[in-house]
Chain A
Amino acid sequence: MTDVQDQSPVADAPPPPETVANIVSFRDAPLYDGPVVPLAGFGAASNAAAVRLDPGDDARGLIPHLGGLRLIEVSFPKYRDGRGYSSARILREAGYTGELRAAGDVLIDQIVFMRRVGFDSFAPAKPLDRACVDAALARFPFVYQRAADDKRPVWALRHG
């Protein structure tokens, strides 16, 4: 299969994407930058303000503690592992309003979905260009289903 090579136009290499900062935030409030404890260590240190959920962790276990948390970081060791999307939505459905951060293998093509399930900050392993992120978020004008964001699904728009 040689399609890609054969058909590649000779293009001037574009400049490398501008890297503004490792964390992309959609929050008005300043980001939390204190220590983050893994869920396993959270029980012993339940006065911690920030906790990390790994893909296999049960987000519902945090629900009794949401009031005291400023940051929940959901880790994405591999972008293909989508468990963190459910974790995020469960936390937002439970009323959590603090910072919800997706960390790890977070790519531009997942940002739209991640925003919709409630993430409001991103700590990608490879920096993302904010302009590209904003363009991706502006790409789709409508959504078909309710999620953890404030977008109204088309069925709501259709029947105002």
Chain B
Amino acid sequence: MYRYDGYDQAIVDARVAEFRDQVQRRLANEITEDQFKPLRLMNGLYLQLHAYMLRVAVPYGTMSGTQLRMLAHIARTYDRGYAHFTTRQNIQFNWIKLAEAPDLLAELATVEMHAIQTSGNCIRNISSDQFAGAAADEVADPRPYAELLRQWSSFHPEFSYLPRKFKIAVIASDTDRAAIQLHDIGLQLVRRDGDLGFKVWVGGGMGRTPMLGHVIRDFIPVAKYLSYCEAILRVYNRFGRRDNIYKARIKILVHEIGAAEFTRQVEAEWAEVEPLALDAPAAEYARIVTQFAEPPYDLAASDSIDRSDPDFAVWLDQNVHRHKQPGYAIATISLKPIGGIPGDASAGQMDLIADLAERYAFDEIRVTHSQNLVLAHVRKADLYAVWTALAAAGLATPNLDLVTDIIACPGLDYCALANARSIPVAQRIAERFTDLARQHDIGELKIKVSGCINACGHHHAGHIGILGVDRKGEEAYQLSLGGSGAEDASLARIIGPGFSEAGVVDAVEKVIETYRAVRTGPAERFLDTYRRVGEAPFKAAVYGVPA
């Protein structure tokens, strides 16, 4: 894991001091709320429906046990004993008092964490593959490059007042676990003739106008990717639309001028900035890569697992993935218990996971964009002990990527932007499919729920996507099918008129039962069936067909 040096720490400490000063000026009424708003937003502090919400960055979704334990402490001390992991691998605290926010940030800084650029029209937290460093199919660990992007983008003087927010994701496998084609910039680390470089997508995004990214370069050497990103950002900063907040993301610029013209402009800009020595030297790459060195694996670790406990075996089959190191496995901790709030964890659960990470997983925890947590390097021989401890804390739900592993934004229960609640819809669907045998029979199915058009719940990328809307003062829900945020990315399409909360749960069940009726067999995933047969049978089942 990356550890701060004196430079990193001094920058984060200065930020805490600056924010403390800004909050004091606000509390003393020396500045108005209007003047204060952009300052607090630069520090991840939103004013929500009931209280301030603080979004803390978890860079590329990786943290240590010490860091997670600090988040638990913050949940207990400054919040109501729980917190919410987000679809951008961050964590949100929902009940923060403004006067206490500076102390909170100061405590975070002691464990090398911050809330810098977790909101505002700037480059946000860099996201990555939760299996980075452990996946058997990766070219190299993508996180050193995400870390260098984190540093480059922090307090970037030219790109802190962009037309709109800007999200970058970095992966290193053909399997996309970070939805890179739905980011403003998606970077895939690839190897060509022995050299590492990035394939570059630009212009993906969700929100009001969902779009998939375009490949604008097949290969940019790693030594040059920062200046290349600089060129992309400059073209966007200069020419992205600023007349309409809903048309201000880079995807609209790429769409309006076309990917070819956008690429030409980026290449022309890169020709200007590439000679300016904006890229970090090789020694800096090496310094960061070293910090993500492989953990000291037990080379004698056994590759066999005792499956005699049937409940454990179910979890093993559903929530545990292959690791590149023999004798090790990747364990995903579901934060989606039936009836729970997707992505929420209590302080006690966070403490427990921190303990397990320290004891069994080289002190690393990952956050996934699906709002689950991962222990990336667990000896197979330790999986049973890990599972036993998780199960006792309600953290061993064996539902990864199943119908009850639902992404949901905070929705109208918390969010000032929401039109409808998301959490209860996710809860009702999960309760409808509580039966584990039925879940397993349905197989991989990604349901994603957003409480408004901004799509924090990734409904456009859901195999089944649900969007909450306001219909004449009533909460209503639109149903979409066929989206994917993976390497086979696609955008879900609305299949017809919306529903009430109860109605959408029924509709989801009809869609799923239709899938079970028309699939070629259990091996054909919902998404593949939908792509094969189209929306007609689902539409007929949900809305009825004339005889």
A residues neighboring B (CB under 8 Å): 1, 3-4, 7-9, 11, 14, 55, 79-83, 85-86, 89-90, 93, 107, 109-110, 112-114, 116-117, 139-147, 153-159
Q: B154, A109: Cβ atoms under 8 Å?
A: no
Q: A144, B151: Cβ atoms under 8 Å?
A: yes
Q: Which residue of A lies closest to B234 (CB)?
A: A86
Q: Which residue of B lies closest to A151 (CB)?
A: B157
Interface residue from A55, A89, A142 paired with B11 (Cβ < 8 Å): A142
Q: A8, B51: Cβ atoms under 8 Å?
A: no
Q: Which residue of B lies closest to A5 (CB)?
A: B29
Q: A145 to B14, alpha carbons, bound, how many Å?
A: 17
Q: B280, A81: Cβ atoms under 8 Å?
A: no
B38 contacts which chain A residues (CB < 8 A)? 79-80, 109
Q: Which residue of A lies closest to B29 (CB)?
A: A8
Q: B161, A82: Cβ atoms under 8 Å?
A: yes
Q: B98, A4: Cβ atoms under 8 Å?
A: yes
What would 27 A/B residue contacts be, using CB atoms closer than 8 Å?
A: A1-B47, A1-B50, A3-B98, A3-B99, A4-B27, A8-B27, A8-B29, A9-B27, A79-B38, A79-B161, A80-B161, A83-B237, A83-B238, A83-B242, A85-B160, A85-B161, A86-B237, A114-B157, A140-B14, A140-B155, A141-B11, A142-B10, A146-B278, A154-B8, A155-B280, A158-B5, A158-B283
- Shortest Cβ gap from A97 to chain B (Å): 16
B residues neighboring A (CB under 8 Å): 5, 7-8, 10-11, 14-15, 17-18, 26-30, 33, 35, 38-39, 47, 50-52, 97-99, 121, 151-163, 234, 237-238, 242, 272-273, 276-278, 280-281, 283-284, 287
18 new A-B contacts, CB < 8 A, other than A83-B242, A109-B39, A158-B5, are A3-B98, A4-B98, A8-B28, A80-B38, A80-B121, A82-B160, A85-B237, A113-B161, A117-B158, A141-B10, A142-B7, A144-B152, A145-B151, A145-B152, A145-B156, A145-B278, A154-B151, A158-B283
Q: A108 to B277, alpha carbons, bound, how many Å?
A: 29
B14 contacts which chain A residues (CB < 8 A)? 139-141
Q: B52, A139: Cβ atoms under 8 Å?
A: no
The 3 closest A-B pairs by CB, nearest first: A82-B161, A116-B157, A113-B157
B159 contacts which chain A residues (CB < 8 A)? 82, 85
A4 contacts which chain B residues (CB < 8 A)? 26-27, 33, 98
Q: A158, B284: Cβ atoms under 8 Å?
A: yes
User: A82-B237, A83-B238, A159-B281 given as contacts; is B161 within 8 A of A3 (CB)?
Assistant: no
Q: Which residue of B lies closest to A118 (CB)?
A: B157
Q: B157, A112: Cβ atoms under 8 Å?
A: yes
B162 contacts which chain A residues (CB < 8 A)? 82
Q: A85, B155: Cβ atoms under 8 Å?
A: no
